[in-house]
Amino acid sequence: STANAPEDDAPNRYTRTERTTYSRYSRDANSSGSSIPSSTLEKRIEELERELAKERQENARLMKMTQDKEEIIGKLKEEIDLLNR
């Protein structure tokens, strides 16, 4: 379970940075006379941040699976070589 901890921290780290960027953007857009209420934009941004975090977790999970499978393939190739000798 400790191996999953770094993966879980990564999406949160990015989200904070992006939240700051999005907050600045929404303030600028609203001050320039945007007709979309800031609360609507903030809700949409939060929704997108949650979606992004889920996608990053899924991506990390798939990357880990790929690495595991590549390791297995390497071990099997070594075993095949030994058997062929």
Over residues 54-73, the pLDDT tens digits come to 999 999 999 999 999 999 99
Residue 47, domain member (yes or no): yes
Instruction: Find tokens 């899924």 and name the residue.
Output: 58
* Position 36 confidence tier, pLDDT thresholds 50, 70, 90: confident
Domain for residue 28, yes or no?
no
Q: How many domains does the chain have?
A: 1
Q: Give residue 77's domain range.
A: 37-84
Average pLDDT over residues 43-60: 97
The predicted pLDDT at position 62 comes to 98
Residue-level length of the chain: 85
What six digits make up the tokens of 38? 């800031």
Contact between 70 and 40 (Cβ < 8 Å):
no
Average pLDDT over residues 31-54: 87
Q: Residue 70 is inside which H or E element, if any? A: helix 38-84
Distance CA 3, CA 18 (A): 25
